[in-house]
Amino acid sequence: MASIADEKYISLTTFKKDGTTKPLPVWIADFGDGTVGFTTASSSYKVKRIRNNSKVLLQPSDAKGNVKDGTVEISGTAEVKTGADFTRCEAIVKKKYGMQYRGIKLVGKIAKLIGKGSGTDAAVIITLDQ
């Protein structure tokens, strides 16, 4: 049976403080311990929303976040991790996405250098409800 982690992109829906949904496309990887997730900047709005409300929705999508026809939305609970947890997750995401990951990591480093964010320094780990 296919897993959500087999997808290249998913639409991740987080929730604003007022309950409004905010979907956006992200990569997804299987962390091998019953969880899935991705890496991101700890300064990103999605991280701020997850810290406020850990409920998330995931659905297969394209790189622009357009949900794939015939797919089902899956709910889960997200946690933001840094340090050793981030390092472990980063290695898994890097293995799946290769050069694409290295390119995004470089963009994050440049953004951090010019004061536009924290770079890729956090992992979002999602425990699926199914």
Categorise residue 33: left if φ over 0, alpha if ψ from -120 to 50, beta otherwise.
alpha
Out of 3.90.550.10, 2.30.110.10, 2.60.34.10, 3.30.428.10, the CATH code matching 4-128 is: 2.30.110.10
Of the listed ranges 11-25, 33-47, 107-121, the one predicted with least confidence: 107-121
C-alpha to C-alpha distances, 10 to 19, 36, 44, 58, 67, nearest whole angstrom? 21, 11, 17, 6, 8
pLDDT in the model for residue 117: 65
Residue with the larger pLDDT of the pair 115 and 33: 33
Separation CA 28–CA 128 (nearest Å)? 13
pTM: 0.86
User: Which among 27, 24, 37, 76 is positioned nearest to 54, based on CA atoms?
Assistant: 76
Residue-averaged pLDDT of the chain: 90
Residue 69 main-chain phi, psi, to 5 deg: -60, 145
- Rounded mean pLDDT of 56-79? 96
